[in-house]
């Protein structure tokens, strides 16, 4: 699926996905779990605002519980449709695409709530890759010693025009993030292996104790 080339800079939105069930953390609301003095969602917003060479037209948080806590961040809150709760990140992606479209944006960057060590030039590189490849979506990926590149699909940058196609996939029963992105024509942005540590996520409370914030 080729994207229509734009004649002007991309108008960008970004959404932090914090609507998961946190099953591997004992059901904790992962975005609100404290780490190094502040909640993970605050680390993600900090990493988002520290991105170099991009300007965000709209920011939001995708959340499905503890909404009053998330509302303290002063950003719009996106909830999954009731019928789509607990059905994985594609539900949050759909809401993010709708939000970005309504905000007049051309593309939206999705970020999980538990990867606070992202490189500060990642958004800029994704935008450049999206434009240079004329792709509908692009996600970071790393070469492996064996096999195909390993995608970081949860950090995808998508054009908002993909909303109808993603809705169709979702209605057909697709719930696998990477499979959906491949079907939509997403392309990988190959990054050097030494940057893989910036995508380390926190799946258990023990992971929080073993990591330190970027300086």
Residue 30 marked in a binding site: yes
Residue 8 marked in a binding site: no
Instruction: Encode the chain in three state secondary structure.
Output: CCCCCCCCCCCEEEEEECCCCCHHHCCCCHHHCEECCEEHHHHHHHHHHCCCCCCEEEEEEECCCCHHHHHCCCCCEECCCHHHCCCCHHHHHHHHHHHHHHCCCCEEEEEECCCCCCCCCHHHHHHHHHHHCCCCEEEEEECCCCCCCEECHHHCEEEHHHHHHHHHHHHCCCCCHHHHHHHCCCEEEEECHHHHHHHCCCCCHHHHHHCCCCC
Residue 114 marked in a binding site: yes
Residue 19 marked in a binding site: yes
Residue 207 marked in a binding site: no
Residue 106 marked in a binding site: no
Say if residues 19 and 112 touch (Cβ distance below 8 Å).
Answer: no
**Residue stretches of the annotated binding site for GTP:** 17-19, 30, 80, 114
**Residue stretches of the annotated binding site:** 17-19, 30, 80, 114
**Residue stretches of the annotated binding site for Mg(2+):** 114
């Amino acid at each position: 699926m080729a994207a229509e080339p734009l004649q002007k800079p991309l108008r960008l939105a970004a959404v932090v996905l914090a609507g998961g069930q946190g099953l591997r953390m004992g059901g904790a609301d992962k975005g609100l779990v404290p780490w190094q003095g502040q909640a993970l969602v605050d680390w993600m917003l900090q990493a988002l605002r520290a991105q170099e060479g991009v300007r965000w037209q709209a920011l939001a948080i995708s959340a499905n519980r503890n909404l009053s806590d998330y509302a303290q961040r002063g950003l719009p809150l996106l909830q999954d449709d009731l019928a789509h709760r607990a059905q994985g990140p594609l539900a949050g992606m759909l809401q993010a695409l709708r939000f970005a479209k309504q905000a007049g944006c051309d593309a939206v960057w999705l970020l999980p709530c538990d990867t606070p060590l992202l490189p500060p030039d990642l958004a800029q590189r994704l935008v450049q890759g999206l434009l240079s490849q004329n792709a509908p979506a692009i996600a970071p990926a790393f070469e492996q010693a064996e096999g195909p590149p390993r995608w970081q699909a949860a950090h995808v940058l998508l054009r908002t025009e993909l909303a109808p196609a993603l809705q169709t996939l979702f209605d057909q029963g697709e719930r696998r993030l990477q499979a959906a992105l491949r079907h939509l024509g997403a392309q990988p942005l190959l990054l050097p292996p030494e940057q893989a540590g910036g995508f380390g996520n926190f799946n258990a409370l023990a992971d929080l104790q073993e990591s330190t914030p970027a300086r």
